A and B are shown apart, each in its own frame.
Chain A
Amino acid sequence: MKVYDLPDSHGHFGPYGGIFVAETLISALEDLRIQYERYRSDADFQGEFAHELKHYVGRPTPIYHAKRWSAHLGGAQILLKREDLNHTGAHKINNAMGQALLARRMGKSRVIAETGAGQHGVATATVAARYGMECVIYMGSVDVERQAANVYRMKLLGAEVIPVESGSRTLKDALNEAMRDWVTNVADTFYIIGTVAGPHPYPMMVRDFQAIIGREAIIQMQEDYGRQPDALIACVGGGSNAIGLFYPYLDSSIRMIGVEAAGHGVETDQHAATLTKGRPGVLHGNRTYLIQDENGQIVETHSISAGLDYPGVGPEHAWLKDSGRAEYIGITDEQALEAFHALCHYEGIIPALESSHALAYAAQLASALTPDKLLLVNLSGRGDKDMSTVAHASHITL
């Protein structure tokens, strides 16, 4: 069997990935690459990471059989990898923890991050508090307004939250601003990118830290079910939770399905289905699929879930799509909300709206399969942060 070994030494996944940044950032990225290469195979570092994941994050997260919902759907069995049970309520902390430990080893006293929905910002603020590091979070002013609770959480944890007023004032602009901070303060600052995008080594490094999800799943599936699932399903914004689940399975032949945000529908201009509707280009340090106009300007995206509302996607997903190893499909706001309510109703679990996209596709696929099939869905986060969005969508004022 062919062994998957991407990216290459310059961070390329086929034609995607790479290092597309201004000269002023090159040496910082080179330093990061060298340091990460060193600690990637350092038993002491990996031991510390594993210890923190177990005792602070609360891993391993269980695989839960959503029996009632599966029975209701009348098809395949839906299994949930419960990343929502992590400390801070999402998979984001796996990566924030890994990068914070690396920052400490590199002697950086200040961490910065971009955030959209606020989950990565909260995870970063959390690990910064845990290690006594200064923390600055960049967040588009539109997101600051619609995610007020997470802004307060970050502040409680001691982070400074800087609203970004440029561009569309959302996640992509927060990323631009964090890059500007990094290039200015690179001597003492570590930039904790929250997803598998950005210049090399970020897509690889974030994947490696998130791959704990898939590695646990392989063991748990064998222990609990005596076999591996028939398909893996995860939502894709930047794509970190999906790659975390998929990566350890890449050398198998198990189906992998990434679920993008189709917003009001991929036939409209109100979606964030980058791999379905985008074209390859260069943004935020890497070559990947992008939602852009005919002149190469990045256009505003839409999704009910702020965490999927991003015009790019991790370069490894771009490669997995082109190579045919993974499939990518879109789920609309409405379909995601329906799955959200179904999981609340049948299983007593309130999922994040991001994860609800994966759940919605799992429900479709399950209905078309026989009950002996197993679908493993990455339940990447819990939905407490989405209360006001869901209430609003249901025309309820809290």
Chain B
Amino acid sequence: MSRISTLFGKLRQNRRKALIPFITAGDPEPGMMVPLMHELVQAGADIIELGVPFSDPMADGPTIQRSSERALKHRVSLQDVLAMVGEFRESDSSTPVVLMGYANPVEAMGYDAFTARAKACGVDGVLIVDYPPEESVEWVECLKRQNIAPIFLLSPTTPQQRVERVASLAEGYVYYVSLKGVTGSLHLDLRDVAEKLDGLRSHISIPIGVGFGIRDGATARAVAELADAVVVGSRIIEEIERSPKAEVLTNVHRLVKSLRIAIDAASPASSAAVKLTHL
């Protein structure tokens, strides 16, 4: 069984929800990444989403763009990101790591070379933002050959037919983008998320994570009551950005721990319809 499904199995037994922090590999600097990954786990992260820096992060807002630019100043490549995961795996063999990024670095390395190296380094899932299911047939086959989970996005505007298509390809979990716009946006309509997730569950059998717009304990808790996993990206990157280097680990730890506590305080009720009354 894969690390991702083992994790969700265990969480389900304990009636807990997953916390998935996102950081960009190489931000604030390459040497800090492995300690930062371990720090995230100690603070309560269940899965780590590791962003592969790209020169043109079209789907990201200013915070993650700047983060990508900082990493690229250190010339962090996809090869370097894989090496970071490999190093992390030397002392953590259970926390799933999911790479998230854009197509071109993968295109440049080649599907087979990438998936083989990713497997060897202990990568559990990959989400390429600009590979929608229509363009992903060969890509998904390559990932599955190496038992790496292809992770896909779903959005409020995804029609049912596409949801079914994603359901047939996706493994690990699906990532529901909770609002229109780019990462780091501010408004999150929880009622809308609750309704959409209800609809998705009739097609999607794997866990559903929700991201975009989760900025504090309150939103994290509210989302945890609806979804199987809570993805937090821009807020953590902001913390990295505003912290002096010597304090990055402590500050990120404090933030992630506060999100963990908020998520664990979420009501364990299972029907989204019931939860709606709290909103």
Contact = CB atoms under 8 A, between A and B. Distances in A.
Given A167-B55, A184-B182, A283-B104, 8 more contacts: A22-B132, A22-B153, A22-B155, A24-B177, A24-B181, A27-B155, A282-B104, A290-B104
Contacts of A284: 56, 58
A19 B56 contact: no
B103 A282 contact: yes
B108 A294 contact: yes
Contact of B158 (A21, A27, A179, A295): A27
Interface stretch (B5-13, B61-69, B222-230, B255-263): B61-69
Interface of A: 10, 18-24, 26-28, 166-167, 172-173, 176, 179-180, 183-184, 186, 279-285, 287, 290, 292, 294-299
Interface centre among B65, B79, B132, B181 (most CB of A within 10 A): B132
B134 A10 contact: yes
A180 B104 contact: no
Interface string B36-77: 000000000000000000111111011001100100100001
Nearest to A10: B134
8 contacts: A19-B135, A23-B152, A184-B185, A186-B157, A281-B107, A282-B107, A294-B108, A297-B72
Interface centre among B56, B65, B129, B181 (most CB of A within 10 A): B56
Interface centre among A24, A173, A287 (most CB of B within 10 A): A24
B78 A296 contact: yes
B248 interface: no
Contacts of B155: 22-24, 26-27
Nearest to B130: A20
Interface in B88-116: 102-109
A136 to B, nearest CB: 15
A142 B231 CA distance: 35
A174 B232 CA distance: 27
A180 B153 contact: no
Contact of B130 (A167, A180, A282, A297): A282
Contacts of A21: 58-59, 130, 132
A19 B132 contact: yes
Interface in B141-177: 152-155, 157-159, 162, 177
